[in-house]
Amino acid sequence: MAKDPAKRVAELSAELEEHLYRYHVLAAPTISDQAFDRLLQELQALEKAHPDLKLPDSPTSRVGGEPTSAFPTVPHVRPMLSLDNSYSREDLEAFDRRVREGLADEEYSYVFELKIDGVALSLIYENSRLVRAVTRGDGIQGDEITANARTIPTIPLRLRQPGISCEVRGEVYMENAAFAALNIQREKDGEPLFANPRNSTAGSLKLQNPNLVATRNLRYFAYWTHRDDDGAQCHSERLDALREWGLVVNPATERCATVGEVFALYDRYAATREELPYEIDGVVVKIDRLDQQERLGNTAKSPRSAMAYKFPAYQARTALLDIHLQIGRTGAVTPVAILEPVPLAGSTISRASLHNEDEIRRKDIRIGDTVLIEKGGDIIPKVVDVDVKKRPKDAAQYQFPDQCPSCQGPLTRDAAEVKIRCENPSCPAQLRRRLEHFAARNAMDIDGLGPAVVEQLIASELVQDLGDLYDLELERVSALERMGKKSAENLLAGLERSKQQPFNRVLFALGIRHVGGTVASILAREFGSLAALQEASIEALEETPEIGPTIAQSLHISLAAPEIQPVLDKLVAAGLQFEMAAVAVSAVESYFSGKTVVITGTLANYSRDEAAALVERLGGKTTSSVSKKTDLLVAGDKAGSKLGKAQDLGIEIFDEAAFAARVQEAGAA
Ligand code: IVH
């Protein structure tokens, strides 16, 4: 006989949470991934069949949260202070003296912790349930990102002990391996790379789609908690409580009786920090006793009872062999230092950033110099200093070229940006970057158009602008060196397929400054076609949600530029999609034709993507936020603020049954 579903749901939820805890917190799983997935699927199926049985903390609810268009700003329960920084032994000794004086020679001890290089996050638990997660913001108020925090497996949705109401603070971070994998993927997809794990953590937490956040492998170390009346005497007791509740406290955390012990630990981690799977930028010492912390009090921005002691940046000295100018796809010129290869922080460095002309002049960096390079938080090291004493006699002051190294055209200086650009739209270096961007996976996704092929197409002058791509002929392409018929056919087939890419992809692929993938999707959705975008005034563009003046201006200027028109003409003639598909299929007359629809909450029989695809097939368009322009809101289970807003605006609202009926009526179900 089948089990009582309510019982089974509770059983499965508890069991799955326990396995998640064993896997992510204890790092000691007791079942295989497959066995876990089977349990999860069983729970998902039960919840789908009995939506009313789904528990608020169900392990299935870690993902699938509602996409959010903006994160509400909420005040912190207590101000989130920051730490004062020390950079030397003397600094920390001075801190220790201040503490001793502040405590009038009473005994004290420290807790030593690692300073995790991530993003601070405050978690609010009420009756052991995670109810809110808020970023630091300005310390007084931050962004509420609860749906994103729920996807982080080391953040418990429910504490392992009942009845606890508390605030937990800690650091969200990304392990180095996850960071590297993410950047490899982004490179493949033609997306900008993250400079370091901290930036990729911050970027991930700002994503508006929790399902995407869940793929980012974020983690959380808790380092602080507060609860009224817990009777705790010491910070270290509270760290123990955090562990008992199921949070992860960094294992390097240790009590130190003296500042001397702190120095020993600091030295140990300074020497071995490269072996840790995540980035730390120093250590933290905190007075252990809570009453002593209180007596020492706070300055305006940090507690007097704690101090960060930062590690020095990784540095090395090497010879500057040359300065290359790198030309981006929009013509921006960046000088790059070409170095005598030197080992630094686990890798061999042969290039470093020189930022811009001003920087080279200010530091009087010359070719032939011995330079000091530094790897701070970023992957790309930078040149921080020059050893003038080692300068060869004949080293001349660096003259920034006034010609583009690629097309020999003039370089111009943009006063506002301190940026130098090559303004020649047919500059081969720009064209190369533009073609690479156009072909990238998240743009036109053209198989067979990798960097090497791009190079050859440009060198042979078969391609002089994006538009020429679609005129390529098999015979000419297969005649290229190292090409052959097979790769040529592959390229042409890839180009042919790319004609089906939707308008938003095409718009992104054009490589207009400030028009990334998300912005392109918004513009495509709101304006529907290239013609409409070209006609739109800057003001009209700016009125679009999420489009600011910088984007509006860049788009307006780019689409009106005389040199882009022939390119666009060729692309239009080639049959690329310059209109949103929804317009094309709106021939299927339905209730949804011409309507702007927002879908919110959980639908039992469709995923939100499926429902949106249906609306679009039936001639409607879907947007993510409710506004006066919305015609219809489809509200599933647990519809949140959008439902309230739609009610306020008097917008028509469908529940799932009404939605399904209209879909069926149109014969599209
Ligand atoms: S304690 C009142 N402990 O470093 C100070 N912070 O300004 C509360 N951080 O962004 C912070 N590891 O998120 C503390 N073990 C640790 C930490 C840590 C990293 C971050 C923190 C904040 C910055 C300090």
pLDDT tens column, 455-513? 999 999 999 999 999 999 999 999 988 888 899 999 999 999 999 999 999 999 999 98
Residue 554 above 70 pLDDT? yes
Q: Is 17 in the pocket of ligand 1 (CB under 6 A)?
A: no
Q: Would the CB of 171 count as within 6 Å of ligand 1? A: yes
In a domain, 638, yes or no: yes
Task: Pick from 284, 288, 301 the residue to mutate for probing ligand 1's pocket: most ligand atoms within 8 Å of its CB.
Answer: 284
Q: Which atom of ligand 1 is nearest to the CA of 308?
A: 24
* 438 Cβ below 6 A of ligand 1: no
69: in domain: no
Mean pLDDT of 65-72: 72
Confidence of residue 602 (pLDDT cuts 50, 70, 90): confident
Q: Would you say the CB of residue 279 lies under 6 angstroms from ligand 1?
A: no
Binned at pLDDT 50, 70 and 90, residue 67 comes out as low
Mean pLDDT confidence for 54-58: 85
Ligand 1 pocket: which of 113, 121, 123, 171 to mutate (most atoms within 8 A of CB): 171
Pocket of ligand 1 contains residue 167 by CB under 6 Å: no
Mean pLDDT within 377-404: 90
| pLDDT score recorded for residue 586 | 44
Asked if residue 309 has its Cβ within 6 Å of ligand 1, the reply is: no
**N-terminal to C-terminal alpha carbon distance within the chain:** 34
CA 224 to ligand 1: nearest atom: 1
Query: What is the pLDDT at residue 63?
Result: 72
**Whether residue 356 sits in one domain with residue 256:** no
Whether residue 351 sits in one domain with residue 297: no
- Asked if residue 639 is part of any domain, the answer here is yes
Q: Please identify, among 574, 606, 626, the residue that sits at the C-terminal boundary of a domain.
A: 574
Residues 141 and 283 in one domain: yes
Q: Determine, yes or no, domain membership for 97.
A: yes
What is the arithmetic mean of pLDDT over 253-280? 95
Assigned domain for 582 exists: no
Residues 339-360 pLDDT 10s: 999 988 777 899 998 988 888 9
Q: Ligand 1: which of 223, 255, 269 to mutate, judged by most atoms within 8 Å of the beta carbon?
A: 223
Provide the pLDDT for residue 64: 61
- Is 221 part of a structural domain of the chain? yes
Nearest residue by C-alpha to atom 12 in ligand 1: 115
Q: How many CA atoms lie within 13 A of 56 on its CB side?
A: 8
Q: Flag whether 76 is in a domain.
A: no
Which range is most confident: 331-340, 350-359, 653-662?
A: 331-340
For residues 596 and 418, which has the higher predicted lDDT (pLDDT)? 596
What is the C-alpha to C-alpha distance for residues 599 and 620, in angstroms, rounded to an integer?
12
Give the H/E segment covering residue 323.
strand 314-327
Gap between the Cα atoms of 221 and 250, Å rounded: 6
Confidence of residue 301 (pLDDT cuts 50, 70, 90): confident
Residue 310 in contact with residue 85, Cβ under 8 Å? yes
Note down the domain range covering 652.
596-666
Q: Name which residue leads in pLDDT, 178 or 353.
A: 178
Q: How far is the CA of 280 from the centre of ligand 1 (A)?
A: 11
Q: Is 113 in the pocket of ligand 1 (CB under 6 A)?
A: yes
Q: What is the CATH number of the domain that holds 58?
A: 1.10.287.610
Q: What is the mean pLDDT of residues 258-283?
A: 95
Instruction: Indicate whether 97 and 210 sit together in one domain.
Output: yes
pLDDT in tens, 531-543: 999 999 999 999 8
Going by CA atoms, what residue is nearest to atom 10 of ligand 1?
Answer: 120
CA of 164 to the centre of ligand 1 (A): 23
Cα 114 to middle of ligand 1, angstroms: 9
Which residue of 115, 283, 309 sits with most ligand 1 atoms within 8 Å of its CB, as the best mutation to test the pocket?
115
Distance 71 CA to ligand 1 centre (A): 23
For the ranges 371-380, 521-530, 569-578, the lowest mean pLDDT is seen at: 371-380
pLDDT value for 506: 96
Minimal-distance CA residue to ligand 1 atom 8: 82
**CB of 144 sitting under 6 A from ligand 1:** no
Distance (Å) from CA 246 to ligand 1 centroid? 20
Q: Is the CB of 76 under 6 A from ligand 1?
A: no
137 CA to centre of ligand 1 in angstroms: 14
Instruction: Please indicate, yes or no, whether residues 405 and 466 belong to a single structural domain of this protein.
Output: no
**Statement to judge: residues 95 and 45 lie in one domain:** no
Q: How far is the CA of 234 from the centre of ligand 1 (A)?
A: 18
Both tokens of 4, joined, read 């009582």
Paired residues of 322 in beta bridges = 338
Give the pLDDT band (50/70/90) at residue 582.
low
pTM metric for this prediction: 0.68
* Together in a domain, 349 and 402: yes
**Ligand 1 center to residue 82 CA distance, Å?**
6
Same domain, 406 and 434: no
Q: How far is CA 612 from CA 505, 590, 617, in A?
A: 18, 14, 9
* CATH at 278: 3.30.470.30
Residue-level pLDDT at 376: 74
Q: Are residues 432 and 398 in the same domain?
A: no
Rounded mean pLDDT, 283-308: 96
The arithmetic mean of pLDDT across residues 531-557, rounded, is 90
Residue among 543, 541, 540, 547 at smallest CA distance from 519: 547
Return the best residue to mutate from 78, 81, 82, 247 for the ligand 1 pocket (most ligand atoms within 8 A of CB): 82
The crossing angle, in degrees rounded to 10, of helices 428-439 and 451-459 is 140
536 Cα: distance to centroid of ligand 1 (angstroms): 47
Q: Ligand 1 pocket check: which of 81, 83, 111 to mutate, most ligand atoms within 8 Å of Cβ? A: 83
Token code pair at residue 161? 């002990």
In which band, very low, low, confident or very high, does the pLDDT at 379 lie, cut at 50, 70 and 90? confident
Is 115 designated active site? yes
| Ligand 1 touching residue 120 (CB < 6 A) | yes
**Shared-domain flag, residues 494 and 509:** no
Report if residue 610 sits inside a domain. yes
- Percent of the residues in the chain that have a pLDDT greater than 70, as a whole number: 97
Q: Give distance in angstroms: CA of 306 to centre of ligand 1.
A: 10
15 vs 20: CA distance, rounded Å: 9
CB 504 within 8 A of CB 443: no
The closest residue, in CA terms, to atom 6 on ligand 1 is: 115
The catalytic position among 115, 375, 382, 621 is: 115
Q: Which of 62-76, 181-195, 431-445, 635-649 has the highest mean pLDDT?
A: 431-445
> What pLDDT was estimated at residue 583?
45
Q: Are 146 and 138 in contact (CB under 8 A)?
A: no
Same domain, 36 and 90: no
Number of domains in the chain: 6
Ligand 1 atom with minimal separation from the 250 CA? 15
Residues 6+ apart with CB under 8 A from 424: 331, 404, 407, 409, 430
Tell me phi and psi for residue 134, to 5 degrees: -130, 135
- Using the predicted structure, report yes or no on whether residue 584 has a pLDDT greater than 50: no
Q: What CATH number has the domain bearing residue 654?
A: 3.40.50.10190
- Assess whether the C-beta atom of 88 lies below 6 angstroms from ligand 1: no
Same domain for 298 and 387, yes or no, is no
Distance, in Å, from the CA atom of 111 to the CA atom of 93, rounded to the nearest integer, reads 16
Element (H, E) at 442: none
* Domain boundary pick from 357, 385, 413: 413
Q: How far is the CA of 275 from the centre of ligand 1 (A)?
A: 21
Atom of ligand 1 nearest to the CA of 82: 7
Give the CATH number of the domain where residue 547 resides. Answer: 1.10.150.20
Cβ of 116 below 6 Å from ligand 1: yes
d(CA 571, CA 507): 11
Assess whether the C-beta atom of 301 lies below 6 angstroms from ligand 1.
no
Residue 281 CA, ligand 1 centroid: distance in Å: 11
Q: Output the six-digit token pair for 154.
A: 């080391």
The residue among 285, 310, 335 that closes a domain is 310
The whole-angstrom separation of Cα 15 and Cα 35 is 12
pLDDT at 66 over 80: no
